[in-house]
Amino acid sequence: MSSRRSRSRHSGSSRITDDQINDLVSKLQQLLPEMHSRRSDKKSATKVLQETCNYIRSLHREVDDLSERLSELLENADTTQADLIRSLIMQ
């Protein structure tokens, strides 16, 4: 990834520096599930963004899958009442 040291190209608007972006990207990296054994290795921003996209997509798929299973659960009588009570107690 080319590291352009260019400052803002838009005259008059706030300047977003590369350092700002890199800082935010490194904070994003901390949110990602660590798949590899090496922790706190500085990954390239491109890699972090790529993994972020993949992570969000996998979360969307999980929501989809869990929705399907929950919708099947809804068919059974009385489950929702028990879920409600149990989940509220678990919080």
Q: Is 5 a binder of another protein (CB under 8 A)?
A: no
Residues making up the chain, counted from first to last: 91
For residue 42, state whether it binds another protein (rule: CB under 8 A): no
For every residue of 56-83, which 3-state class applies, written as one string? HHHHHHHHHHHHHHHHHHHCCCCHHHHH
DSSP state of 24: H
Residue 73 in contact with another protein, rule: CB under 8 A: yes
Give the interface with another protein as residue ranges (CB under 8 A). Answer: 1, 4, 10, 13-16, 20-21, 23-25, 27-28, 31, 45-46, 49-50, 52-53, 55-57, 59-60, 62-64, 66-75, 78-88, 90-91
